[in-house]
């Protein structure tokens, strides 16, 4: 019997900012059942691994099988690596968000076996089956290519009902320094540890695939179980910042109240950032959360326009957004992050104006930051399937040029990126929606206006300072539109240390 399992987060240009939670969950459950596990995160920025190093490590480890986690970024390169790993002679099993959406594509591109859905029970059953010779086709949630070439899928795997039964993620394979450049977390002014307090989302926003990845029903961990993880991170790693990364942690309010009580009773001092929908903002709850260390809320407002909000299935209005903002302002919640998406295919100047109008109504006393992106038609979402034929972007993630534009680091507009790292121009450059040049300009201007409002209201910059910086940003964008090379040449001084240090004033480290 071989009890060794090799797990891999494959290399990509999009580096990891924290430990790979998915693989940490899988290694925890495997180790609990006596398996020996080797995990490689080839995306850790201070310890990047090449394909050759990965293959050598897998060869030396002689595993029962190789498990690879897949997100869609640079997926064609990941497929290439999967095929190379197969040549080592070990079965390759793929799981993760991309597999949950496009399992057939993953098999067609060379993977032996795919695991759809949560991996904890699946990977155990799979390891046992490899050793016992059980027919893999019987294992729920698996897909594979049979000897006769047919691709078959077993029935869907049931979701894990009691999330508290899953062991806490095992981080013993990872080093903080590989991700942060230092082992001393007190030197890093950034949230490092991600915690998932629930799985699944009951909403159905048309641009999001969360419910397709995790199921359309929210399952929650108990407050005690979440507390145990936080307590472990604080005691073991001296963590001082953590982020709840699940889709909507605040849906069950009672659970968050209980968690607040546990943090307070046990005198756990930690800063927590969390995601929240506008319609889950409850003044009393947020006030209590603030008392125990919650300090940042990331809110996907998405739009200030009621028609757009309806068309993306958000089901709240600008009025509701303003009411929530008012209550956050009353509580003086430390930091709010608003995420906006503009440029949906039906949107015109009228829609952009409503979002701008909303931004102008945000009170000056609220400390907030904004992200503005154009919509990405992610595979598995209605935004993709409803528009892929009309706009000609079928299977766009398989196009390496598009991946380069979206995730590659070679498209940065120097000056713009230095001062406005929160604006994702790559998304706009991809031009899924064939914006005419007038609309492109309008989107860029809109992004800058929204940022200017946020900066003007929240930061202690002099008026002249903001005016000059935004003038230069606009100039750099316009030069870039004419010639990226020219922009690079003109704004070459942005590499200057003094300018870089000054730019830090504009960049909020914890975003």
Give dist(CA 111, CA 202) in Å, integer: 31
Asked if 93 interacts with ligand B12 (CB under 6 A), we say yes
SS3 37: strand
- Interface residue with ligand B12 among 105, 112, 170, 246 (CB under 6 A) is 246
Q: Is the Cβ of residue 78 or residue 296 nearer to ligand SF4 in the bound state? A: 296
Angle between helices 253-265 and 223-237 (to 10 degrees): 40
Helix ranges (H only) for 133-173 are none
Site string for ligand B12, 354-393 (x = CB under 6 A): ------------------------x---------------
Closest by CA position to 448, among listed 370, 347, 380, 341: 370
Residues 6+ apart with CB under 8 A from 489: none
Site string for ligand B12, 193-232 (x = CB under 6 A): -x-x-----------xxx--x-------------------
Nearest distance in Å: CB 304, ligand B12: 22
- Interface residue with ligand SF4 among 208, 230, 270, 335 (CB under 6 A) is 208
Residue 63, both tokens: 């595993």
Give dist(CA 195, CA 202) in Å, integer: 19
Q: Is the Cβ of residue 178 or residue 320 nearer to ligand B12 in the bound state? A: 178
Site string for ligand SF4, 240-269 (x = CB under 6 A): -------xx---------------------
How many CA atoms within 13 Å lie on the side-chain side of 256?
A: 26
Total residues binding ligand SF4 (CB under 6 A): 11
Asked if 121 interacts with ligand B12 (CB under 6 A), we say no
Nearest distance in Å: CB 211, ligand SF4: 5
DSSP, res 266 = T
Give dist(CA 73, CA 95) in Å, integer: 14
Asked if 343 interacts with ligand B12 (CB under 6 A), we say no
- Interface residue with ligand SF4 among 126, 195, 201, 276 (CB under 6 A) is 201
Asked if 23 interacts with ligand SF4 (CB under 6 A), we say no
Nearest distance in Å: CB 361, ligand B12: 28
Asked if 191 interacts with ligand B12 (CB under 6 A), we say no
CB atoms within 10 A of CB 419: 24
Sign of the C-alpha dihedral, residues 119, 121, 122, 125? positive
**H or E element at residue 200:** none
Residues 6+ apart with CB under 8 A from 134: 128
DSSP, res 376 = P
Most distant CA pair in the chain, distance: 73
Task: Report yes or no: 11 and 42 within 8 Å, Cβ to Cβ.
Answer: yes
In the sheet with 294-302, reading across from the earlier edge strand, the strands are 193-195, 241-244, 271-276, 294-302, 335-341, 368-373
Q: What does the radius of gyration of the chain's CA atoms come to, in whole angstroms? A: 24
Task: Report yes or no: 351 and 309 within 8 Å, Cβ to Cβ.
Answer: no
Nearest distance in Å: CB 280, ligand B12: 15
Closest by CA position to 123, among listed 99, 146, 147, 140: 140
Closest by CA position to 316, among listed 325, 328, 307: 307
Kindly indicate which of the ranges 208-216, 223-231, 453-461, 502-510 contains the residues binding ligand SF4, using the contact rule CB under 6 A: 208-216
Asked if 210 interacts with ligand SF4 (CB under 6 A), we say yes
Q: Is the Cβ of residue 15 or residue 203 nearer to ligand SF4 in the bound state? A: 203
Q: Is the Cβ of residue 378 or residue 472 nearer to ligand B12 in the bound state? A: 378
Closest by CA position to 433, among listed 343, 352, 372: 343
Nearest distance in Å: CB 17, ligand B12: 5
Which one of ligand B12, ligand SF4, none interacts with residue 458, CB within 5 to 8 A by kind? none
Asked if 96 interacts with ligand B12 (CB under 6 A), we say yes
Give dist(CA 342, CA 269) in Å, integer: 38
Q: Is the Cβ of residue 122 or residue 405 nearer to ligand B12 in the bound state? A: 122
Which one of ligand B12, ligand SF4, none interacts with residue 248, CB within 5 to 8 A by kind? ligand SF4
Q: Is the Cβ of residue 105 or residue 487 nearer to ligand B12 in the bound state? A: 105
- Interface residue with ligand B12 among 16, 398, 453, 475 (CB under 6 A) is 16
Asked if 211 interacts with ligand SF4 (CB under 6 A), we say yes
Asked if 199 interacts with ligand SF4 (CB under 6 A), we say no
Where along the sequence are the contacts to ligand SF4 (CB under 6 A)? 201, 203-205, 208, 210-211, 247-248, 277, 300
Where along the sequence are the contacts to ligand B12 (CB under 6 A)? 12, 14, 16-18, 20-22, 25-26, 43, 67-69, 71-73, 93-98, 101, 115, 118-120, 122-123, 194, 196, 208-210, 213, 245-247, 378, 407
């Amino acid at each position: 019997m071989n009890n060794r399992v090799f797990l891999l987060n494959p290399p990509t240009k999009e580096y990891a900012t924290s430990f790979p939670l998915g693989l940490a969950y899988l290694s925890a459950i495997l180790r609990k059942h006596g398996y020996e596990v080797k995990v490689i995160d080839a995306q850790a920025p201070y310890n990047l691994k090449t394909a050759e190093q990965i293959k050598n490590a897998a060869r030396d480890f002689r595993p029962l099988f190789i498990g690879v986690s897949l997100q869609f970024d640079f997926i064609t390169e990941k497929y290439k690596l999967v095929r190379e790993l197969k040549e080592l002679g070990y079965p390759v099993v793929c799981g993760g968000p991309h597999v949950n959406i496009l399992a057939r594509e993953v098999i067609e591109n060379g993977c032996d076996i795919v695991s759809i859905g949560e991996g904890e029970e699946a990977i155990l059953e799979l390891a046992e089956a490899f050793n016992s010779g059980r027919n893999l086709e019987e294992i729920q949630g698996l897909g594979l290519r049979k000897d006769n070439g047919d691709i078959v899928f077993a029935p869907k795997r049931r979701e894990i009902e009691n999330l508290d039964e899953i062991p806490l993620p095992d981080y013993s394979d990872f080093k903080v320094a590989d991700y942060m450049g230092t082992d001393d977390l007190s030197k890093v002014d950034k949230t490092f540890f991600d915690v998932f307090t629930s799985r699944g989302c009951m909403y159905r926003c048309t641009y999001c695939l969360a419910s397709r990845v995790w199921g359309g029903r929210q399952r929650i961990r108990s407050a005690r179980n979440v507390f145990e993880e936080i307590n472990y991170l604080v005691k073991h790693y001296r963590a001082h910042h953590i982020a709840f990364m699940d889709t909507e942690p605040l849906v069950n309010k009672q659970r968050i109240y209980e968690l607040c009580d546990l943090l307070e009773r046990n005198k756990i001092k930690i800063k927590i950032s969390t995601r929240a929908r506008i319609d889950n903002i409850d003044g009393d709850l947020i006030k209590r959360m603030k008392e125990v260390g919650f300090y940042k809320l990331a809110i996907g407002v998405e739009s200030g326009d009621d028609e757009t909000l309806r068309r993306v299935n958000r089901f709240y209005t600008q009025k509701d957004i303003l009411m929530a903002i008012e209550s956050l302002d009353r509580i003086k919640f430390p930091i709010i992050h608003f995420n906006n998406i503009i440029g949906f295919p039906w949107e015109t100047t009228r829609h952009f104006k409503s979002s701008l109008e909303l931004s102008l109504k945000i009170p000056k006393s609220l400390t907030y930051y904004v992200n503005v992106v154009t919509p990405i038609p992610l595979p598995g979402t209605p935004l993709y399937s409803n528009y892929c034929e009309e706009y000609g972007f079928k299977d766009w993630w398989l196009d390496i040029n598009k991946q380069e534009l979206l995730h590659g680091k070679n498209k940065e507009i120097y000056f713009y990126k230095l001062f406005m790292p929160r604006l994702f121009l790559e998304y706009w450059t991809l031009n899924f929606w064939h914006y005419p040049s007038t609309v492109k300009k309008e989107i860029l201007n809109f992004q800058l206006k929204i940022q200017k409002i946020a900066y003007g209201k929240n930061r202690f910059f002099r008026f002249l300072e903001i005016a000059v910086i935004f003038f230069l940003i606009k100039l750099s964008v316009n030069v870039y539109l004419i010639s990226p090379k020219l922009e690079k040449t003109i704004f070459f001084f942005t590499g200057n240390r003094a300018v870089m240090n000054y730019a830090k004033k504009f960049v909020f480290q914890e975003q």
